[in-house]
């Protein structure tokens, strides 16, 4: 009796089951390949793969299923959503496998076509600059390196901490987010977020020397908290006090919990979506009180733990969304719209909401009779000593220099020299 040989589609079904488990099925429909996913609850979903139902398509069908499964698991997508990404502009790559960035840019700009003429003109210019940066050697390999290269190339006329840098990076971030979420680009192309983005806005290297984010001084923080109380803004005061007194990243307001009377930041909080699901140990955060206001941090913690005062509604809405970046954005918007903060920012060039966190570092080093070590302060703030030295340990001003020398003892205060007549 002749031996019956399995058909190519039977062999492929067996391979898919081995590699992906039960629940993945293929069939022929109108000469093309139909992929069906059977879910645990018994429901099914299907998509049409643009692949002919022939033995020569076996390898491509297998690769397509693997890619769809990867997208579904990594991004928590439905089958149809994952399939849409694989047919998007960035997925329609050249033979080399490179992303078709001009096609992504065209699709992205089409979604912004209803903007005002001047806004759209500026957006097109920044996207065009991003495309040029992508072609500049060494070529960026991910969103982080693209944004840093963009800053180095296009920030010559944008002052550190200014709105120009924010608009540039905001548009590039939107372009990259579109590329990943809607055009099929790999997740590595997600833009910088949170602290890394704030640092790039404030300190991007444009060849003109490093400019650092100024810390909010103790007397400024005290005045800000007093103004919020006088203006009857207890929710915003709570948020500002938590960030300022405990040295939090604003986005970390989304992951706070109180355990045994101590405040902790939930593990896995970094600054971007890529790291949100990575398990990391919780971080203990401790207050550094404003001199003369000892115990303020403990009172704020007790108020937060009691639930008597909630965080502002825009923050709670952002937290409910499950991503960190919108939380930091909501905090920034609330603070920048507050008139007293606006007056502080006008009096202190470069002041940003991250100055609250920088102020925590400043107090740890300068405000007390005994300063904290870099290692301990870096651990409290959730970064390593090298990062602390680079971004939090360099800032000083003339008043700080005078105070430092005066603290050495009698006779150490620099003498004042009378002006020449």
Q: Which residue, among 13, 63, 70, 3, has the nearest Cα to 36 in the 3D structure?
A: 13
Report yes or no: 62 and 9 within 8 Å, Cβ to Cβ.
no
The predicted-structure confidence for 213-250, as pLDDT tens digits, reads as follows 889 999 999 999 999 999 999 999 999 999 999 999 99
The predicted-structure confidence for 59-69, as pLDDT tens digits, reads as follows 889 888 887 88
- Model confidence at 166: pLDDT above 70: yes
- Model confidence at 298: pLDDT above 90: yes
Report yes or no: 259 and 272 within 8 Å, Cβ to Cβ.
no
Nearest-angstrom CA–CA distance, 5 and 27? 19
Helix or strand or coil: residue 136?
A: coil
**DSSP assignment letter at 64:** H
> So what's the pLDDT on residue 182?
80
Q: What residues does 265 pair with on adjacent strands? A: 256, 283
> So what's the pLDDT on residue 79?
85
Nearest-angstrom CA–CA distance, 387 and 354? 15
- Model confidence at 412: pLDDT above 80: no
Report yes or no: 205 and 280 within 8 Å, Cβ to Cβ.
no
Q: What is the chain's alpha carbon radius of gyration, rounded to the nearest angstrom?
A: 27
Tokens of 371: 């300063």
* More confident of the two residues 198 and 241: 241
CA angle 169, 175, 178 (to 5 degrees): 140
> So what's the pLDDT on residue 204?
44
3-state helix, strand, coil split of the chain in percent (to 5) is 55, 10, 40
CA angle 186, 192, 193 (to 5 degrees): 120
Report yes or no: 311 and 330 within 8 Å, Cβ to Cβ.
no
Mean pLDDT of all residues in 387-408: 64
- Model confidence at 100: pLDDT above 80: yes
Nearest-angstrom CA–CA distance, 396 and 393? 9
> So what's the pLDDT on residue 274?
41
Q: Exposure pattern of 303-341 as b/e (b: 16+ CB <10 Å)?
A: bbeeeeeebbebbeebbeeeebbbbbbbbbebbeebebb
- Model confidence at 414: pLDDT above 70: no
The pTM of the full predicted model, rounded to 2 decimals, is 0.51
Q: Could you tell me what percent of the chain has a pLDDT over 70? A: 83
Most confident region among 31-35, 81-85, 231-235 by mean pLDDT: 231-235
List the end-to-end C-alpha distance of the chain, in Å, as a whole number. Answer: 120
Nearest-angstrom CA–CA distance, 80 and 257? 37
Helices (H) and strands (E) in the chain, counts: 18, 6
The predicted-structure confidence for 139-158, as pLDDT tens digits, reads as follows 898 999 999 999 989 887 78
Which spans in 114-233 are helix H?
Answer: 117-134, 143-154, 163-181, 194-203, 218-230
> So what's the pLDDT on residue 187?
81
> So what's the pLDDT on residue 294?
95
Nearest-angstrom CA–CA distance, 76 and 85? 13
Q: What is the mean pLDDT of the chain?
A: 83
């Amino acid at each position: 009796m002749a031996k019956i040989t399995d058909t190519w589609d039977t062999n492929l079904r067996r391979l898919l089951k081995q590699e992906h488990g039960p629940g993945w099925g293929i069939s022929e429909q109108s000469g093309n390949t139909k992929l069906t996913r059977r879910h645990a609850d018994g429901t099914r979903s299907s998509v049409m793969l643009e692949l002919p139902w022939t033995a020569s398509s076996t390898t491509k069908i297998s690769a397509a299923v693997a890619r769809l499964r990867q997208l579904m698991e990594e991004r928590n997508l439905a089958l149809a959503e994952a399939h849409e990404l694989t047919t998007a502009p960035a997925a329609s790559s050249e033979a080399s496998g490179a992303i078709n960035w001009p096609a992504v840019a065209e699709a992205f700009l089409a979604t912004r076509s209803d903007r005002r003429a001047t806004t759209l003109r500026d957006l097109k210019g920044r996207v065009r600059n991003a495309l040029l940066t992508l072609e500049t050697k060494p070529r960026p390999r991910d969103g982080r390196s693209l944004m840093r290269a963009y800053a180095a190339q296009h920030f010559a006329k944008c002052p550190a901490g200014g709105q120009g840098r924010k608009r540039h990076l905001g548009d590039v971030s939107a372009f990259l987010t579109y590329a990943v979420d809607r055009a099929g680009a790999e997740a590595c192309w997600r833009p910088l977020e949170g602290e890394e983005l704030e640092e790039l806005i404030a300190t991007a290297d444009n060849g003109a020397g490093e400019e650092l984010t100024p810390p909010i001084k103790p007397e400024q923080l005290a005045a800000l908290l007093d103004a919020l109380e006088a203006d009857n803004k207890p929710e915003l005061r709570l948020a500002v006090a938590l960030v300022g007194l405990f040295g939090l990243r604003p986005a970390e307001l989304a992951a706070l919990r109180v355990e045994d009377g101590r405040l902790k930041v939930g593990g896995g909080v970094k600054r971007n979506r890529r790291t949100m699901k990575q398990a990391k140990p919780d971080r203990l955060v401790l207050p550094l009180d404003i001199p003369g206001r000892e115990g303020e941090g403990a009172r704020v913690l007790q108020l937060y733990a009691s639930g008597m005062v909630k965080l502002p509604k825009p923050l709670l809405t952002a937290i409910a969304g499950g991503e960190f970046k919108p939380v930091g954005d909501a905090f920034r918007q609330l603070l920048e719209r507050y008139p007293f903060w606006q007056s502080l920012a006008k009096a202190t060039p470069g002041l940003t909401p991250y100055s609250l966190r920088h102020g925590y570092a400043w107090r740890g080093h300068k405000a007390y009779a005994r300063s904290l070590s870099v290692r301990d302060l870096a651990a409290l703030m959730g970064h390593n000593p090298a990062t602390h030295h680079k971004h939090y340990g360099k800032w000083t001003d003339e008043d700080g220099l005078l105070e430092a020398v005066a603290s050495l003892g009698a006779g150490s205060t620099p003498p004042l020299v009378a002006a020449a007549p």
